[in-house]
Amino acid sequence: MSKITPFKAVRPAPDKVGLVSCRNYEDYSPAELAAWLNFNPYSFLHVINPAYVNAQKITLDKRFKGVAHKYQDFKNENVLISEEKPVFFLYEIQTKNRTFTGIVAGTSIDDYKNNVIKKHEDTLQYRVELFKDYLHQTGFNTEPVLITYPDNTTINNWISEKKKSQPIYNYSTTNKEKHQLWKIETEEEIEWLQNQFEKISELYIADGHHRSASAELLYDEYKQSEHNNLNYFMSFLIAESNVKIYEYNRIIRDLNGYSSEEFLEKLSENFIIKDKEQELWKPQSKFEFGMYLKGNFYALFYKQDGNSNNHKSILENLDAQILYGKVLKPLLAIEDLRNDERIEYIPGKQSILTLKELVDEGEFEVGFMLFPSDISEIKALADNNLIMPPKSTYIEPKFRSGLMVYEL
């Protein structure tokens, strides 16, 4: 059974929400970041990236304290307001092509520890420690963990009815998304929703493994404190059919000493190769890979050796693992997918022309395109305590920073 809890959110004043909320600051180019900070005094970027001009010159400790101080300024100026009592929220994002709707709630650290909330990605300890320190020193988090639950007709029907009521936020952003937020505040609604999730035996983290691991670490260090909010971390709970999973494509700086002809010959040992020339070809199904090399696109079809793949583990049959095990590691000598500077990643939602342009410019020698995983693969890996290779999935929706704050 899954446990969710309402929380006393801090959120933008209704007349300023469109100005306050922003994308994750890492998504902004330096020029964009400077423009938003210079021309929008209400942007939450001022909170999460204080003293941005001198950001490389100050210690992390000073930066975290700057975040805490700027956050308090936003509260003192009533740019951010606090809920009077713990509540849930229903949140909807409408993009050009999709609509995402889910519930914002606190999820249980105990559920995370006991594998009721399941993981499929590995974490880097230094990043977990860093974000734990950030949480401790700033006292808040504004990036919920994206968690999926099995499709549920009862919850879906309730969401449809709730959306007929007046939202507390209804605004659009400069990237042409529409955002709506409803408050779930009556005792009857809160209790009903908690009861529905108690019937759900397992939840799955889609995005936010480092955030949840940091919340666990913070809880372990300070669980004797008076901060009951440490028992939970903020999550955006969404039906598993409502997430959109993209691949991460790979670009490599060199061929590890091979000529392009030698590299193609090596690839032919494990793949059937078809030259697509100038056709912008992308994989159409599992066990297919796209490649861009020396101005040409190639289709790579993995040789599956009859029915042998039926006897392989879920991880061994994962496309990202196949590319790593058959190409990146043995041929290109890339062992550390996180830290090797010879490899970079492009989210699959970006056009493959981006990959083509980066290779054509000469900094990269070859690009690989994958077919996206689906939710069943992610769940199967999590159920078997298996870990995906780094940068295997790019998952939407992405939550707006500053839209909701969970105080510790």
Kindly report the three-state secondary structure assignment for every residue of the chain.
CCCEECECCEEECHHHHHHHCECCHHHCCHHHHHHHHHHCCCCCHHHHCCCHHHCCCCCHHHHHHHHHHHHHHHHHCCCEEECCCCEEEEEEEECCCCEEEEEEEEEEHHHHHCCCEECCECCCHHHHHHHHHHHHHHCEECCCEEEEECCCHHHHHHHHHHCCCCCCEEEECCCCCEEEEEEECCHHHHHHHHHHHHCCCCEEEEECHHHHHHHHHHHHHHCCCCCHHHHEEEEEEEEHHHCEEEEEEEEECCCCCCCHHHHHHHHCCCEEEEEEECCCCCCCCCCEEEEEECCEEEEEEECCCCCHHHHCCCCCCCHHHHHHHHHHCCCCCCCCCCCCCCEEEEECCCCHHHHHHHHHCCCCCEEEECCCCCHHHHHHHHHCCCCECCCCEEEECCCCECCCEEEC
Q: Which of 196, 120, 166 is nearest to 377 (CA)?
A: 120
State how beta strands 203-207 and 117-118 pair. parallel
55, pLDDT greater than 60: no
The reply to whether omega before 397 is within 30° of 0 (cis) is yes
pLDDT at 124: 83
d(C-alpha 29, C-alpha 181), whole Å:
28
Please check the confidence at residue 260 and state whether its pLDDT lies above 80: yes
The mean pLDDT of 133-159, rounded to a whole number, is 96
Of all residues in the chain, what percent carry a pLDDT higher than 70? 95
Contact between 21 and 143 under an 8 Å Cβ cutoff? The reply is no
pLDDT band for 280, please (50, 70, 90 cuts).
very high
* Closest-CA residue to 258 (of 324, 325, 332): 332
Give the Å distances, CA to CA, from 342 to 181, 322, 335, 363.
42, 19, 11, 10
Name the residue with higher pLDDT: 272 or 60. 272
**Residue 275 pLDDT:** 97
Which pLDDT does position 310 carry in this prediction?
Answer: 54
- pLDDT top residue among 226 and 150: 150
Q: Are 80 and 20 in contact (CB under 8 A)?
A: yes
> Is the pLDDT at 227 greater than 80, yes or no?
no
Q: Which tokens hold the place of 196?
A: 């529905």
Q: Worst-scoring range by mean pLDDT, 117-126, 200-209, 307-316, 382-391?
A: 307-316
What are the tokens at 204? 């799955």
| Residue 29, pLDDT score | 85
Q: Which residues contact 359 (CB under 8 A, 6 or more apart)?
A: 251, 292, 293, 365, 366, 367
What is the phi/psi pair of residue 205, to 5°? -75, 125
List of domains in the chain: 4-244+396-407 (no CATH), 246-395 (3.30.1760.10)
- Tell me the pLDDT of the chain averaged across its residues: 93
The confidence score (pLDDT) of residue 305 equals 67
| Share above pLDDT 90 across residues of the chain, in percent, rounded to a whole number | 83
Q: For residues 229 and 104, which has the higher predicted lDDT (pLDDT)?
A: 104
pLDDT for 305-351, tens place per residue?
A: 654 555 468 899 999 999 999 999 999 999 999 889 999 999 999 99
| Structure tokens given for 394 | 């790019």
Return the pLDDT at 111: 97
For residues 48-76, average pLDDT: 81
- Give me the pLDDT at residue 255, please: 97
pLDDT of 53 strictly over 70: no
Q: Which amino acid is at 94?
A: Q
- Residue 166 burial (10 A CB sphere; 0-12, 13-18, 19+): exposed
Per-residue pLDDT band for 226 (boundaries 50, 70, 90) equals low
pLDDT at 49: 81
Q: Does position 58 have pLDDT exceeding 90, yes or no? A: no
Q: Give the residue among 85, 109, 94, 100 at the shortest CA–CA distance from 4.
A: 109
Model confidence band, residue 28 (pLDDT cutoffs 50, 70, 90): confident
pLDDT at 242: 97
Q: Side chain identity at 171, as an amino acid letter? A: Y
| Confidence at residue 139, expressed as pLDDT on a 0 to 100 scale | 93
Residue corresponding to tokens 């210079």: 38
pLDDT bucket at 145, cuts 50 / 70 / 90: very high
Q: Name the pLDDT band for 57 (thresholds 50, 70, 90).
A: low
The mean pLDDT value for 153-166 works out to: 97
End-to-end CA distance of the chain: 24
